[in-house]
Structures are given as structure tokens and as C-alpha cells.
Amino acid sequence: MKNLRFLQITAAILLFLNFAPDTKGQIVSPPKWTIQLVPEKTVTGEEATLVFEAQIPIGWYVYSNDFDPDLGPNLTVLKLEESEDYTLIGPLQAINPKKKFDETWKGDVSYFMGKGRFEQKLTPISSTGIIKGALEYQMCSDVTGQCINYEEEFEITFDSVSGTSANNSTVEPSQNEEVDSPFAMVDAGQESTKEVISTEQFAVENTSQNESLLGFMVLAFLAGLAALLTPCVFPMIPMTVTFFTGRNKSRATGIRQAFIYGLSIIAIYTVAGTAVAAIQGPEFANWLATHWLPNLFFFGIFIFFALAFLGMFEITLPSGLVNKVDEKAEKGGLAGVFFMAFTLVLVSFSCTGPIVGSILISSAGGELVKPILGMFAFSLAFAIPFTLFAVFPEWMKSLPKSGGWLNSVKVVLGFLELALAFKFLSMADLVYHWGILDRDIFLVIWIVIFGALGFYLLGKIKLPHDSPMESIGVPRLLLALATFMFVIYMVPGLFGAPLKLLSGYLPPMTTQNFTISSSPTNEEKEARTETILYDDILEIPYGIQGYFDYEQSMSAAKKAGKPLLIDFTGHGCVNCRKMEENVWADPAVLDRLKNDFVMVALYIDERLELPEDKWFTSEYDGKVKKTLGKQNADFQITKFNNNAQPYYVILDHQEQLLAKPHAYDTDIRNFIEFLDGAKAEFERR
């Protein structure tokens, strides 16, 4: 599910706030690879296995190689130098990768988190030989919004013996077996001399050394407060109010049950969450958030409660069950309260899962105390407001002349529940390509629902249990006006407007059936008479006229008298696409990109091999850069000390920075400030 922006911010806080304040300008270190040939003593003519094992930094994942290569992300590829010392048996195999449906790429992808393992079968032919090559792969993070391409070179010398005695002396390590130095980078049995320390490499040992448990709990508590704003949690508030209203005969009993309710939430989150971490890991949160079964279940629950709040029926339990629960309540039995708490945790976990997963991921390193304390702090912040809402109905009942205003509150919340229910149906629709809830249809449903809500607030629509209303109060009128303003705000979305405020709720722009074209005008096309390098294979979205070669773009910027905007991007960069869809598509941003700058898109994963006279040896790693993508990646590292995408840099004609480089951030205002600040600085120089 496309996480809301504040979910990403909260998860980032949980993982990274205790480290250096500016990590976007640092080079992110790659995973730690252990590469070995098993068995160590190979047998001539018999099968051996080249094993690649990776320790992947927390918060990052590496794409596997067993899904559609045309989908978008870069698959892991093994490139071996030709040799007569051995023969390969089949392709490179990914061992037990995780799989999921990716909304951005609209397809199934496989990947590794925490640990990854690839195997290449081969048969030694010579008595001695050398296996030399490189493993190319892509590492991404949904927390920081970055994707990075890496190349892990290796060289292994082997000695083969005749016979089978060697097979009994070496046992192949299992996938879960700990090696002596799991964080050591191996290159032909030697430690790599190219080790870059990065504040964004959050290995388990660094995390445990640098983070205090108290600080971690504070951040987890703040994450719990942020989770209250998610669309899955907010609708549970009226359910809580309804459940506790009229349930208790005395205020003391109501307060006691309310506190039991809050403690139940804490207990369920802490116990169940920690158990998930120990048994299933944080990937269970991803399943709960994206699989069609829980999403349709939540959709049904929300529709059920919405219809009840609108007055279609009353939610009542069988009288026999109610009597038994009441009897247990009188004796201290609180099964109903616990069940309500469990329902809250279950439904809300669809949205709180990404945050909870960021906390539970600490257990990947074998920790136990830390995830328990983190879940306790998270659930404590989460439970306090619901405990207050559980106490509040008793106070609300005692208000004089409450009349029908409480029913109106329930009806308003029923409309909101009805609207939010379609978010869950949208997720299931996206996963299985049903095509029944495209962005246009979703917006139409919301426009109708909130339009009906506005008319209800004005008294034009009457529902069961409503009291007669001769006039409406000023607060109700203001709420109706705000509702109609929201409806008007959504209307341009039917024609392709990005609707920034709703980007986390709406289906992606790729499902939009109708958008206003942003293709270049005839004047723009006629003005482009020069030959643009690589424009036959590369493109910039939204009709932006730009370049794909740095030298050519700088020359064009000088000629046009404009600053140069560099977009370090990639074909398989999911967050590059998110920036283009959520930020670039904004009219104010698009106007600036087209008119105020000369843009160059430098694809760091473009595998076009350049003529030999354009090859060069990198000063950074000493490797020969032959492809366009590797040259662009080397330029980003050596010039700007950064290797993550997306990354935006604005230069003057002396190749000096005009503003601090900008990384992944879907806040349109921040991006506009970045552009305007650089333009103003350019005009001052």
C-alpha cells in the first residue's frame, strides 16, 4: 500500500533520528557480502556452488532476479569473465526471497531484507582456476526514499582434486548459519580496501551501541501519536464511543472498564507484536497492509459500521450473550472490553503496520528487550486517547439537553467511515488488477459521499433518528461549507490534478483514465533544432525539454542563461517515479521546471555501453567505467559525495552549487522553495 507521507516520516524518525542530522549528503555503504566456493576443496568434474551471502542494512532491501526484468526495478545480475577453468550449470539462483505486489511497478517483485543469498552452480574442469566477475544489484529503502545501484567485484581461486574424498571434509553452511565475521566484505579471501563509513548503514551492532533504550521508547511513543492520524485508526473512535455509551450503570464502573480497555490495547500490541517479530518478522505487517483478504475484511467492517451510524440498523448482540457479558462484567469479567480492544488493534494494524514494522525490525538482530519496550511505548501513546474516549461517553451522557446532536455526530462519522472504507477496497483492487476502482471512480465516490454529507449538515437530507431541526447553528454551517470546499477541491482530480492533500488516500495516477495532456507544444518542438544525445532511448516526463549528457546540458545552460538542474535518476528507481507523479506534476512545479532551468536527467542504471574512447578509470574506486549509467553514478559520487536516487542538484555556469541538493521529499512546497531559492541565488551572482 502507498504509505502516507507522515508514515514514512515517522518510520524514518524511529530508525534514524539518533544518528547524524544530515544523512542525505552521505554515501550509503553497500551490503556486506560473503562470497565463497563450496566445497572449499572442489572435485574436478563434480558440481560445486558459488555462494553469495549479503548482510543488508536495516531499513533497506535488495531486489532478487526471479521476476519480470521489464517490470522496472533492476534485477540482480551475475557477470563472470570467460574462463576455460569451469563450466556453469544453469543461471544464478535466488534462495528463498520474499515476494510482494509493488503498486508503483504494477507487478510482483522479489527481494531480500536482512539477509540475502544467491547461488551459482558450476563444474570445475581444471585442477586449478580463477573465478572472476561482478554481482550487480539494486538496494532500496521505503523509509529514506532512496534506491542505489551497486557492483560487487570478486575473484576466487580454487584447487580441484580428483576423487570424492574432499566432499567429506567440507559441509556447506546453511542459509541461517552465522559465519565468523558476518559483516566482513570478502574479495578473494581478503578484506575490501574500499570501505566507506556512512551514517545510513544501520547494522545491528551500530544500532545497539548508538541508540539508548530511553530515546528509542520516546520515539516509539511519538510514532504511536502519529498513528492516531491514519485512516484506519480514526474511524475506530466512533466505534469506541458507541461501544461504551450506555454500557455501564455507574461512572466508577465505566472508568474502570475504560482503563482495562486501554491496558488491553497495550497488552495486545506488545505481546502480539513481539510474537510476530519473533515468528513472522516485520513482513507480516506488509501482508496485512497489502493482501486482498484483510483489506476486503476491513472494507466490510467499515461499511457495516457506516450503515449502522447512518441509522440503517442498530448494532445489538443476542440478548443471551448480552446477559452473560453483563453477568461477567458485574463479577469483573471483561471479555467484551477485551474483544473491543482486540478489534481496534486488528483493524488499525493495516495502517500502523509500517510503523510497527520499523520498531519490530530490531528483532532481526536477535534483540528481545528493545522491540518489547518499543511496542509498549508505541501502544501506550496509542491507547491513552482511546481510554479517554472510553471514559468520555459517561461525561457526554450527563450533558444537559443533549437532544439529537449526538445522533448527528454519529451520522457525520458514518459518512466518513463510508468514504474511508473504499481505501481498503482500492488496495485489493490494485493488487489483483480488478479495474473496478480506478482513481476517477474513487474520486467520484468520494465527491458524492462528501457532497451528501454537506447537504445533510444543511438539513437537506433527513435520516432515521434525526431530531426535527428548525434552523442550523453556525458551527454546523461552517462545517457544511468546509465539506463543500473539500468537494470542489476534489473535482479537478477527475481531470488529472495531483490533489496533494489526498495523495496517500487516492489510487495512483497511473490508474487515471483521463488526464489533461502535458505534451510539449508545437513552439517547443520547433525550438529544439539541436541533436540531443541519447534522446532516442531516454526521456523526461511531462514534456520537459531536457538533456541526458552533463557536458551538453551545461553548454546549453550557458547559452540559455539559466541555471542547470541535474536530476540523478534511474529506470528502476521507484521513488523517482513517486517524485515525478506527486511533485513534478504540480502546475507550479512543472512551470518552473520548463521555464526557469535547463534540465539534465542522468540515469545511473542505464546500461548503454559507450565507445571505448569515452571510457575512463574512476578516481573513486579505480574501476573502468564503460556504460553511461556507471559514468553518471561515478559523477554523482565524486562530485557530490552521494550515491542515492532521486537526487536533485542545481549548478551555476561555474559548476558551483546554487542551493543545498534536494533528495526524496514529496512536499511540493519544499521542492518549490528549493527551486526558487536556487534561481534567486543564480540571479544574484
Do 241 and 348 reside in the same domain of the chain? yes
Among 398, 424, 455, the domain-final residue is 398
The average pLDDT across 637-648 equals 88
Domain boundary among 364, 398, 432: 398
Asked if 321 and 201 touch (Cβ cutoff 8 Å), the reply is no
Among 342, 333, 328, 334, which Cα is nearest to 386's? 342
Task: Tell me: do 235 and 372 sit in the same domain.
Answer: yes
pLDDT in tens, 448-503: 999 999 999 999 998 887 878 788 889 899 999 999 999 999 999 888 777 867 75
Same domain, 382 and 432: no
Mean pLDDT value of segment 294-306: 81
Edge-to-edge strand list for the sheet holding 86-94: 32-38, 48-55, 115-124, 86-94
Set of cell numbers at residue 604: 545511473
* CA–CA distance, 88 with 482 (Å, rounded to integer): 67
Residue 335 sits in the same domain as residue 357: yes
Same domain, residue pair 559 and 448: no
Residue 26 is given by DSSP the state S
Do 126 and 189 share a domain, yes or no? Answer: yes
Q: Of 254 and 441, which is predicted with more confidence?
A: 441
Average pLDDT value for the chain = 74
Residue 24 placed within a domain: no
Look up residue 608 and give its DSSP letter.
P
User: Are 533 and 431 part of one and the same domain?
Assistant: no
Q: What is the CATH number of the domain that holds 662?
A: 3.40.30.10
- Name which residue leads in pLDDT, 522 or 433: 433
DSSP 127: S
- Residue 25 belongs to some domain of the structure: no
Q: Is the pLDDT of residue 275 over 60?
A: yes
> Which of 216-225, 394-403, 640-649 has the weakest average pLDDT?
394-403
**Which range has the worst mean pLDDT, 98-102, 545-549, 552-556, 671-675?**
98-102
pTM of the prediction? 0.44
Look at 78-92, 321-335, 437-451 and tell me which has the smallest mean pLDDT.
321-335
- Banded pLDDT at 198 (limits 50, 70, 90): very low
Q: Is there a contact between 16 and 200 (Cβ–Cβ < 8 Å)?
A: yes
pLDDT score recorded for residue 141: 80
Domain boundary residue, one of 165, 195, 225: 195
| Cα separation, 313 vs 42, whole angstroms | 74
Same domain, 122 and 257: no
Residue holding cell 549479503?
Answer: 54
- Residue of 515, 568, 643 whose CA lies nearest to 149: 643
Q: Are 677 and 654 in the same domain?
A: yes
What are the grid coordinates assigned to 248, written together? 455501564
Mean pLDDT of 100-107: 77
C-alpha cell read off for 616 = 575512463
Domain-located, residue 10: yes
Report angle CA 225, 228, 232 to the nearest 5 degrees.
Answer: 150
CA-closest candidate to residue 298, choices 423, 412, 429, 445 = 423
Do 659 and 676 share a structural domain?
A: yes
Same domain, 318 and 458: no
**Total number of domains in the chain:** 4
Q: Which domain holds residue 177?
A: 30-195
Are 41 and 169 found together in one domain?
yes
- d(C-alpha 673, C-alpha 509), whole Å: 24
